[in-house]
Structure 1
Amino acid sequence: MSLKTIFSGLLLAGTLVLAHPGKEEVFAHSALPLERKSLNHCNKEFSEPEFVKRTVEVHGREYARLRRELGLENESPKLDPRDYISVSKIDHKSSKTVSKTMDLASLFSDAGACMLMPAVDQGPLYVLGEQVRKNITENEPGIKMTLAIQVVDYKTCKTVPNAWVDIWSSNSTGIYTGVQGYPGMGDPKDAGMLKGTALRGVQPTDDHGVASFDSLLPGHYDGRASHIHAIVYLGATKQPNNTITGGKASHIGQLYFDQSLIASIDTVAPYSSNKNKVLKNTADFLFMQGANGDDPIVRYALVGKTLSEGVFAWIRFGINQNANKAVNPAAFMTDKGGVMNPKGPVALLPKTGYP
């Protein structure tokens, strides 16, 4: 795969201002320095038969499981290409006809962009201490999505096993659970918001660097394009209470979706009831930061014949294992429930003008 030359030493400074109807503007996302290094030198390793075979095996098992759950094991849905707006101009939806006997290498061998994914802002709504679990839906309504993230070292081109991938996103109508007091995310006086854990969770990478989640396609909210947050921890330890502690955050990123896919999502209930304004990828400051020479948009395929039956999405993170990113959560999930971080990004928001 041919990639653009990635600029190095690029530093984007400033803040992204998110506006919420009836609220003062909130400084929600501060830009962080970017890491820029090409993974073009990894193309040979990523094309090695054994590497492709292992990647195909992992993704193929997940894809087959989803189709079995829908009773579609013997059917062959057509996956038509879709247009989207992005810097790479690549259609991230598979154009293959998927069948039971096909060589899945043709579908999954391009398991995401081959570059060092840029480190961007963690966002204001991260909760530290979520459970290690594969299924993070908690009966939230929406379009099911299994998301597979493969972690590789951008210097050695080798997969990174035993890493911990922590993801979180909004629900179908653009609401994040687990944090109290953020404007536009429920009643700021409702302490019950701290009990929410939906669409948040942690998974380890296997011996081929892959971590996967059963989640939902996220809904949009004012000021941001549709996205999912992710942190990759190295050296963390799983505790008896099914959380992780310690280690270092070697990667903080956000991943996105084709604009045409987002438009289709918004026609399906309950996404269609979302009244928040849609911000396109190319108008989102953090998307532009992440897509400036890189490709933070997931590859995807429909599980069944229609979007409402679910999506399988995948992307590759190239990380710097020597990096140690600063993490400042909005809240902590403890054995006694959620607790706001008094020095976190939400607690430090100006209170003037909020009910």
Structure 2
Amino acid sequence: MVHFSQVFAAALLATEVVAHPGSNTNKEILRRQAHLDHPERRSVVSCKRDLVGSGWVREQHIRREARLHELRVAAGFAKPGDLVRRDVSEVEAEYGANAACTLDPESTEGPYWVTGELVRSDVLNTEKGAITHLDINVIDTSGCKPVTDAFVELWGSNATGVYTGVQARGNGDGSATSLVSNALRGLQPTAANGTATFITVIPGHYVGRTNHLHTIIHHGAKLLANNTVQGGTISHVGQFYVEQNFLGEVEKTVPYNTNKQAITKNANDPLFNMAKQGGDDPVLKISLIGKTIEDGLYATIDVGVNPKAKQNPQPVNMWTAQGGKPFPGSPWTGYPDTCKYCGFRPPKKVREIFGFA
């Protein structure tokens, strides 16, 4: 019997859709399908009893409520004593129904990963947009405990769909101007509760993809004197998304409304649709800090990982004091025209199984 997700994958593969200008998503779809079919796949849902029983869910809910209230007080939208809490028992009952998970890669690192980024919480530099205070909780699904010794890496495009630290046709105007910036890129260690915190923006859209953030989870990496990390292993390569109706409201604000690139909605993005398969939910949970998007946002997401899993994403560049420099031997070099990962086509056996040419 062919699972629904396999049929879904076949349909997407047959369309040969692109993730970025010139890059085929077939490889990423197959990797996601392999993850969904893995016999040892475990999600955050599998850990619900343990996380609730240990008090972690309760503690995180209380912390998140307090954090949102703190942001509202700091922005002048609430007073210190105004916090009204939700019934924790309701939160515990609902927990795990919607959470990201992974054993194998959830998605691709894409052609714009730059290794060697700085360990920092605020990655804005001077970028403008829907300012987002983002909490990423990392959970070990093999032991059902928060991961307290990892580095979470985060990067995304700016409000007009341009990535810093790289130069490529289709990335903005394709010029070298973005090479000298490391805005909207950085790493943070997970705290005792498994949380890594960033200040970033809701990413803008660009041709072929809906708005999304990239993440990589590092284990055993060493913090260097220059505030970067080295070594260790990578257990998870994933992407985070934004609910479509809310995203539509973001796109109406400045500077998102100056972005003239064609919009791809979540429903039409193959990687988003594959990420939603298997009960996973890669969509950020977002709250307004004030009355409008311009007042700022607070977002959270839980990510389940197997710390022993070892993935091998490939950077296109490395960050240096002189900006983004080519990473030796990168399969993304020459993107989107001549790179090793450009225009991937699945092997003949896979095409025969799924019944397309």
- TM-score grouping bracket, smaller chain normalisation: 0.7 to 0.9
Query: Alignment partner of 1:30: what SS?
Result: helix
Deviations 1:217-237 (A, max 9, x none): 111111001100000001101
Partner AA of 2:31 in structure 1? P
Which one has a larger percent helix, Structure 1 or Structure 2?
2
Cα distance in structure 2, aligned partners of 1:314 and 1:279: 23
Alignment of 1:73-152 (within 5 A): 73-74=78-79, 99-103=82-86, 105=88, 110=95, 113-114=98-99, 116-117=101-102, 119-152=106-139
The answer to whether the 8 Å contact 2:289/2:296 transfers is yes
Query: Alignment partner of 1:62: what SS?
Result: helix
1:209 is aligned to: 194
Paired residue total: 319
**1:106 and 1:168, CA in 2 relative to 1: closer, same or farther beyond 3 A?**
farther
The answer to whether the 8 Å contact 2:20/2:209 transfers is no
Q: CA deviation at 1:351?
A: 4.5
Say which is worse superposed, 109-118 or 217-226, in terms of deviation: 109-118
Cα distance in structure 2, aligned partners of 1:344 and 1:241: 24
Say which is worse superposed, 158-167 or 335-344, in terms of deviation: 335-344
1:160 is aligned to: 147
Percent identical among aligned pairs is: 33
Deviations 1:126-149 (A, max 9, x none): 000110000011121111101111
Cα distance in structure 2, aligned partners of 1:6 and 1:203: 37
**1:328 and 1:45, CA in 2 relative to 1: closer, same or farther beyond 3 A?**
same
Query: Alignment partner of 1:166: what SS?
Result: strand
> Unaligned stretches of 5+ in structure 2?
339-357
2:230 is aligned to: 245
**1:225 and 1:11, CA in 2 relative to 1: closer, same or farther beyond 3 A?**
closer
Cα distance in structure 1, aligned partners of 2:128 and 2:262: 20
Query: Does structure 1 residue 30 correspond to structure 2 residue 27?
Result: yes
Partner AA of 2:284 in structure 1? V
> Unaligned stretches of 5+ in structure 1?
77-98
The answer to whether the 8 Å contact 2:212/2:240 transfers is yes
Q: TM-score, normalised by structure 2?
A: 0.80
Cα distance in structure 2, aligned partners of 1:314 and 1:114: 10
**Out of 283, 287, 291, which is 1:297 matched to?**
283
Query: Alignment partner of 1:145: what SS?
Result: strand
Query: Does structure 1 residue 44 correspond to structure 2 residue 45?
Result: no
The answer to whether the 8 Å contact 2:161/2:172 transfers is no
Cα distance in structure 1, aligned partners of 2:183 and 2:90: 30
**1:112 and 1:194, CA in 2 relative to 1: closer, same or farther beyond 3 A?**
farther
**1:107 and 1:219, CA in 2 relative to 1: closer, same or farther beyond 3 A?**
farther
**1:38 and 1:350, CA in 2 relative to 1: closer, same or farther beyond 3 A?**
closer
2:61 is aligned to: 56
Deviations 1:10-35 (A, max 9, x none): 98896742465xxxx34478315232
Partner AA of 2:318 in structure 1? F
The answer to whether the 8 Å contact 2:169/2:336 transfers is no
Cα distance in structure 2, aligned partners of 1:165 and 1:33: 21
Query: Alignment partner of 2:55: what SS?
Result: helix
The answer to whether the 8 Å contact 2:181/2:323 transfers is no
Partner AA of 1:218 in structure 2? P
**1:292 and 1:262, CA in 2 relative to 1: closer, same or farther beyond 3 A?**
same
The answer to whether the 8 Å contact 2:163/2:178 transfers is no
1:308 is aligned to: 294
1:263 is aligned to: 248
**1:188 and 1:153, CA in 2 relative to 1: closer, same or farther beyond 3 A?**
same
1:94 is aligned to: none
Cα distance in structure 1, aligned partners of 2:26 and 2:225: 33
**1:336 and 1:164, CA in 2 relative to 1: closer, same or farther beyond 3 A?**
same
Alignment of 1:320-339 (within 5 A): 320-339=306-325
**Out of 185, 199, 203, which is 2:171 matched to?**
185
1:66 is aligned to: 71
Q: CA deviation at 1:116?
A: 2.3
Q: CA deviation at 1:264?
A: 0.4
Q: CA deviation at 1:75?
A: 9.2
2:157 is aligned to: 170
**1:68 and 1:204, CA in 2 relative to 1: closer, same or farther beyond 3 A?**
same
Say which is worse superposed, 103-112 or 318-327, in terms of deviation: 103-112
Q: CA deviation at 1:112?
A: 7.8
**1:310 and 1:189, CA in 2 relative to 1: closer, same or farther beyond 3 A?**
closer
Query: Alignment partner of 2:247: what SS?
Result: helix
**1:19 and 1:256, CA in 2 relative to 1: closer, same or farther beyond 3 A?**
closer
